[in-house]
Structure formats: structure tokens, C-alpha cells
Structure 1
Amino acid sequence: MTISHNHTNTSLESEANGHNGNLDHIPPEAIKGLSEESISCLRNLATYNAPPLADFGIVKQAAVLVALFQKDGDDQLHVLLTTRAKTMRRHPSQTALPGGKVDPEDPDVIFTARREAFEEVGLPLNHPSIYHLTVLEPVMTILPLNSHMKNHIIVTPVVCFISSPSIISTLIPNPDEVDAIFTHPLKGVLTGSLDLKDTESLVDIGGEWWPHEEEFHSTNDRIGSIGVYRMHRFRTTRSPIKGLTSDVLIQTSMIAYNSPTTYPRFASDQSPFSNLISGVVKDLPFHIDKSNNSGPVEWGGTEGERYRSSETWANA
């Protein structure tokens, strides 16, 4: 697939740099009909200034696109999600935001996120109804015990607003990467609950996609390769939002609604992502050429239990 880097980058840079911390880059007709809540969320995101991206050294890097829109007849923002193809080597059949690896020729993470969204679901690279909002602070994959440090990935979220929700209905999953396209209310990630109108078509409790007792939001604390971590899971109309995708959307929702989560976000003694990232960036050069044969790849429990991971990170 050939993409004109120069033309696309110019468009994205103008979006990224032209909003001056407010919604002036979005014409009035594009936000006409939005609820006051949605407009407030967009303004909070557009005025958010994350610290400049640091030098992540040799750690793998990726970018994901948090594409927000308000459905016709609705009054809150929803986010575009995918279920990864069953044939994917990593995280098959799991919920993801469009995104992927930062290629050396990518001019910035905004381009990476938009390119990947185009490749995965056909979201147009240049469209008058898609507006850049902000770039958020990076998060990082949390790996099981005995995983090789080289398999950590630092992921930078890029947030955009789609003013024409009809675009969503035109998206087509790339069968090599995506099994399904669906959406979820952003506020539901902040509150761990859903309005009655958003509970229609949710997957069954106790079924394949939601084998949990909780109605909308489930957590468990686990111990991975770099310490304790709280795994959040949110029930959807498809595969659950969990892991890194939940971490990104929790961060996005807190900024959008200018509010903390209504549930405890972190496990006791869980380190901030900024500290975890700094540690991996610093230590990876000393581990990159070392093998990792210290035992099975597994998660630790807070009560001392162990359970095998379905991923094979140590051998990647």
C-alpha cells in the first residue's frame, strides 16, 4: 500500500499545530448538534498538553488512534474499536484501538496512528470531517513474569474527533488484521457502568466474551515482569476492553471528563507508567542480547499463586 507521506504529513501537522489549545480548528457546523457534554470533552482533550515525547532508545514503539464521535440521536462520545483477527500472532481475538508499530519512515506518531487506522479499517487518511485533538502520554505493555524485556512496547495514544458519524458505517475491516469493528461509550470506561440505552446488544454475562460475574466492569490484580498491575475489563457488544486498550481509554476518559474514575484505578504499589517506561528504556540495552530461560511465562497473583500466560512473550 502506497501512501504519500509528504502530503499526508502536511495535513496532519496543520491539524496538530493549528488548534491553539481550543476548538477553533473545528468549524462551527462540525460541532453543531453535539451535546454540551461532548463539546466539553472535546475542548478538554484539545487543551491537554502532554509532556514532549522522550527518547525511548531501543524500546519498541507503537501508536494507537482514539477516534471519538457522537452517534446520531445520542448525547455522548463513543470510541472506535476493533476485535483483532484470530490469526494474529499477538493478542488474537482481543479488543484493540486501531494502531501499530512506528515505522522508521513515519514522520511522527500522528501519522503512524492514522496510517494504521487506514490500513486496518479504511479510516480515510485525509478527510474534512476528521480533526486531530491531542497526543496523550505514552503507556506500556505489561508483560507476564519471565518475559524478555525486549518485548515491551511503548504506545502513544493519538486522539481525533470524527464530526460525521456516517464515516463509521463505511469502514471495512482488513481481514488479515481485524475480525470486527465496533464502538463503546467513552464515559462507560470512566464510570465502569453504562446507561440503559447502551446496554442493548451487550454480550451475555458468563458467556465466551464476558466470563465474569460483574455486570459491566471487572478487575483483578496481578504481578508481571515489572511489578503489580491492575487489569481492567469492560463488557462491550463484542470482545472486552482490557489491558493496554483499557489503560489508554481510562486515561482518555479522565482527561475528557476532567474527572477521576469512579473506581480505584491502580493496584496498591502499582508504579506510574512514566516510571515503568523510564526503567525499561534505561535497562533494556543491558538485556537485549541475553536469552530468557528462567521458567514458564506466567502471571503472579497477589496471594502468591501462579497461572500460565496464553502469550509466548519470552520466545518472541
Structure 2
Amino acid sequence: MQDDASQVGYYDTDELVQQRDESSDMLSQIEPLSDESLQALGRLARYKPPLDTYPVPAGRAAVLVALFGSRTGKNLNVLLSTRSKTLRTFPGHVALPGGKMEAGDMNLEATARREAFEEVGLPYNAEKIRYLTTLPPYLARNLLLVTPVVVFVIDYSLKPELNADEVDTVFSFPLSGFLSDTGSDPSLTNAVPKDVITGDKPYHTYADYEWFDRVPSRFHSFETNHKPVTGLTAGILIQVAEIAYGRKPAFGKEAPGEKSREELFEAASKDPRWKVARAQPSIDDTPPSSKL
């Protein structure tokens, strides 16, 4: 058992899919992962992000993309939470566990794991929650650089322990749903409202916002049985799903003429707010204010 973030680690793909937890009573109720899910985990484990050359730790944050198998084994689900309604920033928003890097964090994986432990009680134990990969950082609206760390939860007996000051609820959602444009995807049957399944309400929407140099950036929104997954969180999960399933989404991911991530970071670094952002206390998940 690992008790602190200094013991987080990296694991071979074969270990990831072969090891089963000893909680046989719990596992007996869960079907083995489907070939598609195993292949998705393999793609994520083999994904190598570009070299991260951005400053650490000032202005850095991380989120944990915690994946686990559905009870049928057919789908990979992702753990999401709704932020507490009492929070001063972004109350009630759907988010991934995460936050700013602290001086005691040895790396961004440690940041993501620490925040997940503090918010929803996921243990640091890297045997039960296996590292898969790290994605390139995203730029939040308040100019923090947010790095997604993707893990797979092997121990199905783990139960969330919510920090009521930060989190109202947790729920799961099919990862493949972030590649779909409609609620008719079979994986979404129990994950979205009935009016979304029937087509009376759109499942996926997007809006283009002007950001740096008045160039548009596209922000997506997906309906769920809870609140919509929007903004930065939606963008991260689209990319995780693309890597996992080896295909593009059924919708246009980017606005016409949208800047690359590198171009966006370069423009942001010249903005007067860049230095201020290094001291921001939390991740701003919302789109810019100027909608096209």
C-alpha cells in the first residue's frame, strides 16, 4: 500500500490488463473488459506526449482522468464530479479531480493524484490505480497550464469519499461518448436524459469564442444525466477518447483557423495576465467571454 505521492509510479501494459484485485466478491459481479476496452487501454499506455518544456511549478496544474470498466466490461467509463455549490469559483460545474501544483508535489502525476485523494478519496496507491499516460498541457481561461494525467482503476472495490467542501457528487460517463454527436450511441443509453436519446434535445453542442489575437477557439458541451460536461473538461476528454479509440470525433473539433496549442501558449505568454495567472488558486474551466 502506498501512503503518499512520493511512491507513485509507472507500469507495463501487460501488468495493467492482467492483474486483478483480490476482492473476488466484488469482481465476480463485473464482466472482464471487452477487447475494444483492452485495446483502448493499450493505445493510451503506448501514447507518448511531446516533451513538456514549460516552467514547473509556477502556473501549473493537473487533473486526473480516472478510467474504469463498466459492469458489462464493454465500455470504459471516466470518473467525473460536480463542484460544491458553496465554492466561490465555478460552483456546480462538472470537473475532473485536479488543481494547482504544490511545492511538495514531485511531478504533475503526483499533483493529479493528490488532488483526487483530497477531493474524492481516490488513494495514492499506484498498484490499484495504474498510470497510463500524460497528455500535453491545456490552457485554462485564467491562463493556468493544465496537464491531464490518465490512469486506470483496477480495484473495483474502491468507493469515493467526497470532500463536501469541494465536491457535491461523483458520477461516471462512457469515454467513447465524447466522440459522438448524438445521444443515440448505445453506450449512452443510461448516461443521458431520455429527451437526448430521442433527439428532442441535442446531446452535443459547441460555440466558438474569440481568444488571443481575436482568433476563434471552439468549446464543446455534452449532456449527461447530471450537469453538462463543458469547456476545458470536455476538450480534455475528447482528446483522451481520440487516443483511446483511435478515431476522430463525429463533429468538427476545432474552429476554422483555430490556433495550435503551441501558438496559443505563445500568445498567452505575451499577455499581461500571464504573470498574474501564476498565482491563480484554481482552474478556470469556462470558455472566454467573447462568443462569436
Q: TM-score, normalised by structure 2?
A: 0.83
Instruction: Indicate the SS of the match to 2:182.
Output: coil
Judge conservation of contact 1:78–1:184 (CA < 8 Å) in 2.
yes
1:191-246 Cα deviation digits (max 9, x unpaired): 2334346333634759xxxxx96431111212235531212100111111110000
User: Partners in 1 of 2:153 and 2:98 — Cα distance?
Assistant: 17
Instruction: Indicate the SS of the match to 2:16.
Output: coil
Look up the match of 1:181: 170
Instruction: Confirm or deny that 1:55 pairs with 2:45.
Output: no
Look up the match of 2:281: none
Map of 1:192-207 to 2, 5 A cutoff?
192-194=181-183, 195-196=185-186, 198-200=188-190, 202-203=192-193
Judge conservation of contact 1:59–1:284 (CA < 8 Å) in 2.
no
Change (3 A) 1:58 1:126: closer
Judge conservation of contact 1:59–1:154 (CA < 8 Å) in 2.
no
Look up the match of 1:162: 153
2:216 to 208, 224, 228: 228
Change (3 A) 1:264 1:59: farther
C-alpha root-mean-square deviation of aligned residues, in Å? 2.8
Look up the match of 2:27: none
User: Partners in 2 of 1:263 and 1:97 — Cα distance?
Assistant: 23
Map of 1:1-316 to 2, 5 A cutoff?
5=4, 8-10=5-7, 12-13=8-9, 15=10, 18-19=11-12, 23-26=13-16, 28-30=18-20, 33-56=32-55, 60-126=59-125, 128-142=127-141, 151-167=142-158, 170-194=159-183, 195-196=185-186, 198-200=188-190, 202-203=192-193, 214-225=201-212, 227-284=215-272, 288=276, 299-302=289-292
Judge conservation of contact 1:59–1:152 (CA < 8 Å) in 2.
no
Judge conservation of contact 1:139–1:274 (CA < 8 Å) in 2.
no
Judge conservation of contact 1:71–1:77 (CA < 8 Å) in 2.
yes
User: Partners in 1 of 2:128 and 2:251 — Cα distance?
Assistant: 34
Question: Gaps spanning 5+ residues in structure 1: where?
Answer: 143-150, 207-211, 290-296, 303-316
User: Partners in 1 of 2:110 and 2:123 — Cα distance?
Assistant: 12
Judge conservation of contact 1:70–1:78 (CA < 8 Å) in 2.
yes
1:30 positional shift: 3.4
User: Partners in 1 of 2:228 and 2:254 — Cα distance?
Assistant: 19
User: Partners in 2 of 1:238 and 1:286 — Cα distance?
Assistant: 34
Look up the match of 1:306: none
Paired-residue identity, %: 35
Instruction: Indicate the SS of the match to 1:175.
Output: coil
After superposing the two structures, state which structure 1 stretch, 105-114 or 269-278, moved more: 269-278
Change (3 A) 1:204 1:60: farther
Judge conservation of contact 1:65–1:158 (CA < 8 Å) in 2.
yes
Instruction: Indicate the SS of the match to 1:271.
Output: coil
Matching residue's letter, 2:52: L
Judge conservation of contact 2:132–2:150 (CA < 8 Å) in 1.
yes
1:165 positional shift: 3.0
Judge conservation of contact 2:268–2:274 (CA < 8 Å) in 1.
no
1:16-51 Cα deviation digits (max 9, x unpaired): xx42xxx13325143981101101110000000001
1:122 positional shift: 0.4
Judge conservation of contact 1:71–1:165 (CA < 8 Å) in 2.
no
1:75 positional shift: 0.1
Judge conservation of contact 1:134–1:158 (CA < 8 Å) in 2.
yes
Judge conservation of contact 2:32–2:73 (CA < 8 Å) in 1.
no
Compare CA radii of gyration and give the structure with the larger one.
1
1:42-73 Cα deviation digits (max 9, x unpaired): 00000000012212378621100000011112
User: Partners in 2 of 1:298 and 1:285 — Cα distance?
Assistant: 14
Change (3 A) 1:264 1:133: same
Matching residue's letter, 1:275: E
